[in-house]
Structure 1
Amino acid sequence: MPYLSLNLQFFADEKTEKATPKKRQEQRKKGQVAKSNDVNTAIILLIVFLFLWFIGGMLGYKLIDIMEHTFREYLLMELTPSSITAIFYELTMEAVVLVLPIMAIAMIAGVFSSYIQVGPLFAPEAIKMKLSKLDPIKGAKRIFSVRALVELLKSLLKISLVGIVVFTILWINLDSVMILALKSVEDGFYQIAMLTVIMGIAVALLLLILSIPDYLYQKYDHEKQMKMSKKDIKDEHKNTEGDPRIKSKRRQKQMEMAMQRMMQEVPKADVVITNPTHYAIALRYDGEKMDAPVIVAKGVDYVALKIKGIARTNNVITVENKPLARALYAQAEIGDQVPEDLFKAVAEVLAYVYRLKNKEV
C-alpha cells in the first residue's frame, strides 16, 4: 500500500497538463515568455544594414568631411588645454551625429523584433536583482547543462555558415578587392563600405532563416517548462475560487442571514396564506404606498412551519387556501408584487382579513 500511494503521488505531481491562462499571465508578468534572441539579432542586423544601404552615402560623405577637417585644421592647431578641449568636443558631437541614427534604428529594430514575438510587454520584475543568479553551483550547472551544449553547437553552426557566406561574397568580388590599392582613398572607402553592407545583409538573412527553428524550439521548450501537474491545477483552482468547504460555509451563512431578514418581515405582514402544512406565503399591503400586495416571505415545509409560528406569535392572521398558496409560491419571489391573474383571489383574502380585524376592534 505505501508503494501504491507513492506511485499515485508521483503521477499526481507529474507535469503533463498545459498551463492555465492564470499561470501564463503570471509568468508573463515575470518576463518569462517564448522568445528567441536569434530573431532579435537577425532583425536588428538586417534593418541596420538596410538603413546603411540607403543612407550610407550620406554618412560616408560626413565621415570623409570629418577626416579632411581633421587633417587640414586640427593638425595645424597649437596644442593647448583649450584647443584640445575644443577638438574633443567637436569630434564628440560629430561622432554623435554619425552614430545616433544607427543606434536609434537598432533600438527601433530591437523593440519591433521583441514585439512580433511576445506582443506588448512591460515586466520590471524580470530585471530585478536576484542573489540566486550569483550562486556558483547553479551557474556551473547551467554552463555544463544539456541546454548549454545545444547553444554551443548552435553557435558553432552559425559561425561556420556565416564564415561560408562571407568567404563566398569575398570570392565573388575578389577582383575588386585585389585592385583596391590602385584606387583613390574615396573610391576604396566606398568599395569596402559596399562590400561590408552586402555581407551584413547576407549574414542577417542567413541568421533570420536560422532563427525560425530556434524560435520554434524556444516556444516548445517554454511550453514544456510551463506544464503543470493535476495537483498544481487543483491547487490553483482552490486559490482562485476558494476552498469548496469554505465556499459552502459562506453560502450557508448567507442563506441564514437571508432567512433571518425574511423572518423579520413576517410580523409586518397582513396575512399568511397556507397550504396548510407544506406552503406559507406572507403578504403585506399598504394602500397609500403600494400598487399591489407584496410578498414579504415564503417557504415550504420547515420554513413554512417557522413562518406560521412567527405569524401566530405576532397575531398575524393565517388563511388556508391551497391553490392560492401554491400559485403564489410558484409565480412570485420575495419582494415581488402579487401577479395580476391572482389579484382577485388575494383581494378576497385581504377583504376577509380586514373584516376580521374590524370585528376584533
Structure 2
Amino acid sequence: MAWLTLDLQFFSGEKTEKATPKKREDTRKKGQVAKSQDVNTAILLFFMFITFIAIGPFWQERFTNLYTHVFTEYVTWNLTPDQIHLIFLDIIFYIAVTVAPVMGVAIVAGIASNLLQIGFLFTSEPLQMKLDKLNPISGAKRIFSVRAIVELIKSLLKISIVGAVTFSVLWGSKDDIMMQAQSDLDSSLSFFGSTTTRMGLSAAIALLVLGVLDYAYQRFDYEKNIRMSKNDIKDEYKNIEGDPLIKSKIKENQRQMAMRRMMSEIPDADVVITNPTHYAVAIKYDESEADAPYVVAKGADYVALKIREIAQKSQVMIVENRPLARALYADIEIGQTIDESFYQAVAEVLAYVYQVDQKA
C-alpha cells in the first residue's frame, strides 16, 4: 500500500519559516525593526551624567555668576517694560549657552543609540493615519495581549531595579547626608552633586543591562512576528519572478509575434536556401540596409516547411544547398549579416538567382 505524504503548512498557513530578505526589507521600510527603547534611555542617561561630571565646574561658575549678576546688578535697575524684556532675554541667552553642551551630548547620544541598533533608517510609514488603529476591538486585543503583559512586567522590573539601585546609593551615603547639616554651602552642593551623579550613573548602568536583555527579547519577538509560511514564500517568489503560467504565455505570445514578423519578411527575400527539408534560411541583400547579405528568416522542420510555402507563393527562388543551409542556420541569427566565411558561397547562390531572374 502506497502512502501519500502532504505538507499541511500549505493548507494551515502556519508560519514556521524564517523571513526572506525581501520580507525583511519590506518590514524595515514600514518602520518595523527590532529596537529597545531602554537601550536608548540608558545610553542617553549615561552620557548625560558623564557630561555633568565633566562640566560640573563650568556650571558652578556659570550659575554662580548668574546669581551674583542678578542680585548685584539687576536689582539696581529701574523696572520698566523695556528693562524687564532686556533682563529676560539676557537670562535666557545665558542659560541657553550654559545648557548647550548637555543638549548637544543628548542629541548625539540619541542618534548614536538608534544607529547602533537599527542603522540609518528614514520612513514616514509609522506616521501615516490608519483607521484600523481606531478600532476599539483591535485596541482591546492589543491592551490584553501577551505582548502588553510582557511590557507591563518589564516596566515593573525596571522600576524595581532602578529604584533599588538608587536607594542603595542613598542608603550607603546616609551618614554623610546627615552630616551636611553642619557643612557650609559649597561642601553641601558638591556632596549632593556627586551623590546625584553616582545615582544617575548607577541607574544608567542597571538600565543598560536591562536594555540589552530587552533588545534580545525584541529581536526574538521581531523574528517571530515576521516568520512566513511556505505558501507565503511561494507567493512572494511568484510576485518577484512572475507566475510561471503567465510567463510561459507571454513567451509564447512573443514567439508568435516574432514568427509572424519573420514570415512577413520572406516575400522580400532574394533567395531561400534549403537542406532541402530540415532547414530553410531566407537571404536578402540590400545595399541601403547592410553592407553584406543578411538573414531575414530561418527555421527547422515545420518552420522550414512554412518558409518554403511562403517563398513559393511569393515567387522567391528556393535553392538547395545542404551544407550552406545547415551552417547559416547554426551560426547566423535573424537580422544579422552573414559572416565573411560565407561570402563566397552566398555570392555564388545570389549570382545564380540574379542570372535566372534576368533570363526570366
Alpha-carbon distance between aligned partners in 1 of 2:131 and 2:329, rounded to the nearest angstrom? 67
Aligned length: 356
Q: Is residue 2:312 matched to residue 1:336?
A: no
235 and 10 in structure 1: CA distance in 2 versus 1, 3 angstrom threshold: closer
Match of 2:191 in 1: 191
Match of 2:18 in 1: 18
Amino acid at match of 2:338: V
Match of 2:233 in 1: 233
Q: Is residue 2:37 matched to residue 1:56?
A: no
Match of 1:3 in 2: none
**Structure 1 range deviating more: 260-269 or 95-104:** 95-104
1:50-89 mapped onto 2 (5 Å cutoff): 50-74=50-74, 81-89=81-89
Residue 281 of structure 1 aligns to a residue whose secondary structure is strand
Residue 273 of structure 2 aligns to a residue whose secondary structure is strand
253 and 288 in structure 1: CA distance in 2 versus 1, 3 angstrom threshold: closer
Shift of 1:168: 3.2
Amino acid at match of 2:16: T
CA contact (8 A) 2:33 2:222 kept: yes
Shift of 1:46: 1.2
221 and 288 in structure 1: CA distance in 2 versus 1, 3 angstrom threshold: closer
CA contact (8 A) 2:9 2:231 kept: no
Alpha-carbon distance between aligned partners in 2 of 1:249 and 1:78, rounded to the nearest angstrom? 91
Match of 1:4 in 2: none
Alpha-carbon distance between aligned partners in 1 of 2:38 and 2:112, rounded to the nearest angstrom? 14
Amino acid at match of 2:49: F
**Structure 1 range deviating more: 171-180 or 120-129:** 171-180
Amino acid at match of 1:254: Q
Residue 319 of structure 1 aligns to a residue whose secondary structure is strand
Residue 299 of structure 1 aligns to a residue whose secondary structure is strand
Q: What is the RMSD of the two structures over their aligned residues, measured on CA atoms? A: 2.6
Residue 55 of structure 2 aligns to a residue whose secondary structure is helix
CA contact (8 A) 1:49 1:201 kept: yes
Match of 2:222 in 1: 222
Match of 2:267 in 1: 267
Shift of 1:120: 0.9
Alpha-carbon distance between aligned partners in 1 of 2:199 and 2:133, rounded to the nearest angstrom? 37
1:275-354 mapped onto 2 (5 Å cutoff): 275-286=275-286, 290-354=290-354
Amino acid at match of 1:334: I
Residue 15 of structure 1 aligns to a residue whose secondary structure is coil
Match of 2:204 in 1: 204
Shift of 1:135: 3.7
Alpha-carbon distance between aligned partners in 1 of 2:137 and 2:265, rounded to the nearest angstrom? 71
229 and 134 in structure 1: CA distance in 2 versus 1, 3 angstrom threshold: same
Alpha-carbon distance between aligned partners in 2 of 1:311 and 1:124, rounded to the nearest angstrom? 64
Amino acid at match of 1:335: G
CA contact (8 A) 2:10 2:230 kept: no
Alpha-carbon distance between aligned partners in 1 of 2:189 and 2:137, rounded to the nearest angstrom? 50
Amino acid at match of 1:213: L
Match of 2:143 in 1: 143
TM-score normalised to structure 1 length:
0.88
User: Residue by residue, what CA displacement relative to the aligned partner does 1:227-284 show, whole Å, maximum 9, x if unpaired?
Assistant: 1222222233333333333322222222122112212221221110111122110111
CA contact (8 A) 1:12 1:231 kept: no
Shift of 1:288: 6.9
1:67-216 mapped onto 2 (5 Å cutoff): 67-74=67-74, 81-216=81-216
Match of 2:46 in 1: 46
Amino acid at match of 1:282: A
TM-score normalised to structure 2 length:
0.89
Shift of 1:324: 1.7
Amino acid at match of 1:191: F
Alpha-carbon distance between aligned partners in 2 of 1:298 and 1:328, rounded to the nearest angstrom? 9
Amino acid at match of 1:69: H
Structure 2 gaps of 5+ residues are: 1-6
9 and 113 in structure 1: CA distance in 2 versus 1, 3 angstrom threshold: closer
Amino acid at match of 2:21: P
Shift of 1:221: 0.6
Structure 1 gaps of 5+ residues are: 1-6
CA contact (8 A) 1:12 1:230 kept: no
Residue 217 of structure 1 aligns to a residue whose secondary structure is helix
Alpha-carbon distance between aligned partners in 2 of 1:234 and 1:200, rounded to the nearest angstrom? 52
CA contact (8 A) 1:283 1:296 kept: yes
